[in-house]
Structure 1
Amino acid sequence: MEPLRGDETTVGETTVVARGCRLDDAPVRAVLETDARPRFFWAAGTESIAARGSAATVTADGQSRFDDVRTALEALFADCSVPDDLPSAARPRAFGGFAFHNGTHEEADSPWDGFPSAAFFLPEIQVTKKDDDAWLTTVATGPEAATEAETLLEEWRDRLVADSESEPGIPPGISHRERTPTQDGWREQVAAAVASVDRGDLQKVVLAQSLSATLDTELSVPDVMARLSRTYPDCYRFMLSPDAGGTFFGATPERLVSVRGRTVRTEALAGSTGRGDTPAEDEWLAAELLDSEKDRHEQKLVADAIRDQLEPFASTVRIGDRTIRRLATVQHLRTSITAELDDDEHVLSLVEALHPTPAVGGLPPDAALRTIRETEAFDRGWYAAPIGWVDAAGNGTFAVGIRSAVATEREATLFAGAGIVADSDPDREWDEVQLKYRPILDELE
């Protein structure tokens, strides 16, 4: 098929050109299994995207990191020539995310080397599959951008046609694991947090744990993503390997925000219980969760806070009914939230307003974040932070990076947390965290 072409766009000495063509299939793992960095994978609903290589990279730090990234990406997309007939699903997107905190935990040993406070890249190679359609998109920069983009398109089109998806291998196995904190340490942390709630210093705080696993064999994250996609097809599956360091990956049930035009979609996800061994037990556990005063209170705090954060942007915010969100190992309380923006807004403006929601931070926000920093003996890095994509129109979708891990070839560090409120029981919260490890742990053991 003849590639789709657009006119070159030059600003100063920078030329950014995109090319695209339709594919019969989209073997996304062929893109992810290359050694090139950065690499990114995203799957949600009927859409999956694999990307690699960087035509342009944006990083930022400091209090203005969200605004700095937005400004840089707007300028980058303004300079990008895209064929008019390339469908929206196949147009170039910038992929990336943010750290949970602005800055790192200076006293903690961190597996997050190579992950800035904010990082996005415009990929050289982007393979998109949506419903039954598949597309290859290439991007190049510089004086010879048009030629380079077309060369990349021809090379990768031939490569992908010759490739096919293989079955994922078996999990690597775990030879050693170490939890931070210990269960006794966790009891002390939860007791201190509950005392802060009782004093009125906090309404809620989300405390996290980390689990470091030494692997028996080398980890293939693309294999993990293939298995996660089968087990958690209704979750946001993501993977990011930055220019250096490990790979952050996961299967999160929680959308932070989606913006398309002036329509905003988000959700309040809080309160957890396990899955039953039988349908009857499953329904009983769900009913118990719906009737739990503690869990309903925790979930209402999240929904109300999200509404308050959206109201400066939208005069009408609609909060749906409380429902059960069932996953393979856990059930949650979920409330869908939608809004119509009063004006055009970039998705990153909404990301900045919403992060962190009380589902992963707490209330009041400043006091909760201070408690998290003072309590947790590890760096959250990109755990529980926004990860997703942005397009040239300022549309995009971001998930909350939970049910996740950061890994190198033989080491993986998993993260999971629990919301602490006045009625929290330390041992019950401990058990909840262990449930939340299962999506990733099951793919490693």
Structure 2
Amino acid sequence: MSPIFEKVKLHSKENLPFVIYRKPNSRTIIGVFQVNDHLYFSENFKEEAFIFSSFLGDKPIVFPIEHSEVKFAAPHLVDGNDEKNLQTKTNEAEREKFISLVQSGINAINEGTFRKVVLSRVEAVDVPNFDIEVVFERMLQHYSTAFCYCWYHPKIGMWMGATPERLLQAKEKSFNTMSLAGTQTFQGNDVVSWKNKEREEQEFVTSFIVENLKNQASDVQLSTPYTTRAGNLLHIRTDIEGTLNEDSNLKNVIDILHPTPAVCGLPKNIARDFILKNEGYDREFYSGFLGELNLNINTNEHETDLYVNLRCMKVGDKVAQIYVGGGITKDSNPEAEWEETVNKTKTMKRIL
């Protein structure tokens, strides 16, 4: 067992908070180990800390660096299961429930309530022999381009994920973010065709980000939309960068971006109300955000690097709750949306 996982096991045994994570395309695992079990919350995003925020964004939890030990390690990559052979069983009751939820969303769009809504579900998977080291290193093996993490607080629980989506990276006044939407299963070729529904969904996200940042930033530049791969899934992505205005700050920008139309909908507040009323469960930290706040822990520079909490699960006593969702527009097909969530569950099922 590597020293960083010895520290993880010790912290777990002593019921102390920690997070271990690896940034996209990095060869370094970073561990932040809080030295007490206090729940610290961010009020203004000015702390140097690792931050973990819920979908609703209220009272984001931070592990302050001043109250934590930091450790580094290189990943020991293990052989994972062959993703092509992964089989899943359909729960007909859950399938019908989700299809009905999606149809309700489509109906609301057709009635003019909103233009897009992101609807999700949670699926329980038995994990009788869960081993945090094996599961985390298998995650690193399969998802080299994702932000991979395991986060634990004794008063909250354990969360793990491999998210492909950055919410915000900011250094001094420069920032970059991304617009990510649309999903296809990877079939061995990154050159694919996208339907109008998927292109429109991604354009909603891009337009929202650019429009809402115009009063906070200048010199905003966009890449051409392109296909990007995250594990066994493909998405449409646009890179967005710019310079924050002198009177802008990190909290303003995060409040604008979170939750984005990629995890909530458009208009944001109306879509969020529909989600809270109709999904039938508490998302908790699914589709929230997490990452380094005001400190690049590897380089010790003043930098923020935050990711949307997608492709994630909450790990309990011998059971893992896997969270998945998809963007719904007027052109959505409820059956196809169900299949998209099934494909997304494979991200976490593969590493379990």
- Taking structure 2 as the reference length, the TM-score comes to 0.86
Post-superposition offset of 1:96: 2.3
Is structure 2 residue 32 aligned with structure 1 residue 51? yes
Deviation string, structure 1 residues 77-108 (Cα, Å, up to 9, x no partner):
xxxxxxxxxxxxxxxx41121111256xxxxx
Kept after mapping to 2: 8 A contact 1:181/1:210: no
Q: Determine whether 1:323 maps to 2:240.
A: no
Residue 182 in 1 paired to residue 94 in 2?
yes
CA contact (8 A) 2:79 2:138 kept: no
**Contact 1:178–1:212 under 8 Å retained in 2:** no
Structure 1 residue 128: Cα displacement: 3.6
Partner of residue 117, structure 2:
205
Matched, 1:378 2:281: yes
Deviation per CA, 1:195-222: give whole Å up to 9, x if none. Answer: 11111111000000100112232x1233
Does 2:195 match 1:287?
no
* Partner secondary structure for residue 312 of structure 1: coil
Contact 2:228–2:237, Cα closer than 8 Å, also in 1: yes
1:215 counterpart residue number: 127
Q: Distance in 1 between matches of 2:89 and 2:314?
A: 14
Flag the 1:372–1:200 CA change in 2: closer, same or farther, 3 A. same
**Residue of structure 1 in register with 2:53 after alignment:** 98
Per-residue deviation, 1:188: 1.3
- The 3-state SS of whatever aligns with 1:70 is coil
Correspondence 1:221-240 to 2 at 5 A: 221-240=132-151
38, 45, 55: which one pairs with 1:70?
45
1:395 paired residue number: 303
Deviation (angstroms), 1:32: 2.3
Counterpart residue type for residue 319 of structure 1: L
Tell me the amino acid that sits aligned with residue 207 of structure 1.
L
Contact 1:57 1:120 in 2 (8 A): no
Q: CA deviation at 1:70?
A: 2.3
Change (3 A) 1:128 1:344: farther
Partners in 2 of 1:346 and 1:394 — Cα distance?
A: 14
Which structure has the greater CA radius of gyration? 1
CA contact under 8 A between 2:77 and 2:140: conserved in structure 1? no
Say whether 1:407 aligns with 2:318: no
Which of 340, 344, 358 does residue 261 from structure 2 map onto? 358
Q: Which runs of 5+ in 2 are unaligned?
A: 82-87, 296-300
Distance 1:233 1:344, change over 3 A: farther
How far is the alpha carbon of 1:179 from its aligned partner?
Answer: 6.2
Amino acid at match of 1:296: R
Q: 1:38 matched to which residue of 2?
A: 17
For 2:133 and 2:7, locate their aligned partners in 1 and report how far apart those are by CA, in whole Å.
10
Distance 1:315 1:382, change over 3 A: same
Shift of 1:52: 1.2
Question: Are the equivalent residues in 2 in contact too, given 1:256–1:267 (CA < 8 A)?
Answer: yes
Q: Which amino acid aligns with 1:270?
A: A
What amino acid is aligned across from residue 30 of structure 2 in structure 1? I
Whole-angstrom CA distance in 2 between matches of 1:39 and 1:319: 36
Letter in 2 for 1:32: V
Structure 1 residue aligned with 2:184: 273
Indicate which of 345, 349, 352 corresponds to 1:437: 345
Q: Distance in 2 between matches of 1:305 and 1:434?
A: 28
CA spacing shift, 1:221–1:297, aligned 2, 3 Å: same
Letter in 2 for 1:371: F
Q: Specify the code of the residue in structure 1 equivalent to 2:160.
A: F
Matches within 5 A, 1:84-123: 93-101=48-56, 117-122=59-64, 123=67
Q: Which runs of 4+ in 1 moved over 3 A?
A: 54-60, 165-171, 176-181, 344-349
Give 1:121 shift.
1.3
Higher alpha-carbon deviation: 393-402 or 190-199: 393-402
Partner of 1:100, secondary structure, is coil
Q: Give the counterpart letter for 2:33 in structure 1.
A: R
TM (norm. structure 1) is: 0.69
Structure 1: distance between partners of 2:302 and 2:327: 32
* Contact residue 17 and residue 36 of structure 2 kept, 8 A: no
* Long gaps (5+) in structure 1: 1-25, 61-65, 74-92, 104-116, 135-164
Please tell me whether the aligned partners of residues 100 and 380 of structure 1 are also in contact (alpha carbons under 8 angstroms): yes
Q: Shift of the alpha carbon at 1:30?
A: 3.2
Matched-pair contact (CA < 8 Å) for 1:180–1:377: no
Q: 1:179 to 1:361 in 2, by over 3 A?
A: farther
Instruction: Give me the identity figure in percent.
Output: 23
Work out the CA distance in 2 between the residues paired with 1:58 and 1:180: 40
What is the CA distance between 1:231 and its match in structure 2?
0.9
Q: CA RMSD in A?
A: 2.6
Kept in 2, the 8 Å contact 1:177–1:211? The answer is no
Distance 1:227 1:248, change over 3 A: same
Q: Secondary structure at the match of 1:287?
A: coil
- Judge conservation of contact 1:178–1:213 (CA < 8 Å) in 2: no
Name the amino acid aligned to 2:115. Q
C-alpha distance in 1, partners of 2:91/2:123? 4
**Matched position secondary structure for 2:284:** coil
Question: Of the candidates 296, 300, 303, which is equivalent to residue 206 of structure 2?
Answer: 303
Structure 1 residue 55: Cα displacement: 6.1
CA 1:238/1:223 → structure 2, altered by over 3 Å: closer, same or farther?
same
